[in-house]
Structure 1
Amino acid sequence: MNSVLVRWKCKRFLEKKVLITEVLEEFKNANMFFFYRIDFFYDKMKQV
């Protein structure tokens, strides 16, 4: 009974860890996109 509970908790922890990692990846990609846009607009401003 106890080992099953421990295994279940480990499984839940790993699932959460994967979820957090995925969210962080998405956030990082969004940030890179955001900074890319800022650079793009900055270049446009300099050209004007």
Structure 2
Amino acid sequence: MIEGRFHEEGKLLFEIGLVAADGEIIITDALLDTGFTGWVAINTKI
């Protein structure tokens, strides 16, 4: 399961780790962009 958070503008962000050619892991935020423009159902009872 991937855990994420909502940005102030309502965008969904989650943390990913990128692996460089030398093996170094770079942690950064990624934006989930599905291209969906309608309503989304989210379970708030977690």
Tell me whether the two structures share a fold, i.e. TM-score over 0.5.
no
> Which structure would you say has the larger RCO, counting Cα contacts within 8 Å and 6 or more residues apart?
2
The structure with the larger Rg is: 1
Shorter-chain-normalised TM-score: which range? Answer: under 0.3
More helix as a share of residues: 1
TM-score, normalising length from structure 2? Answer: 0.17
TM-score, normalising length from structure 1? Answer: 0.17
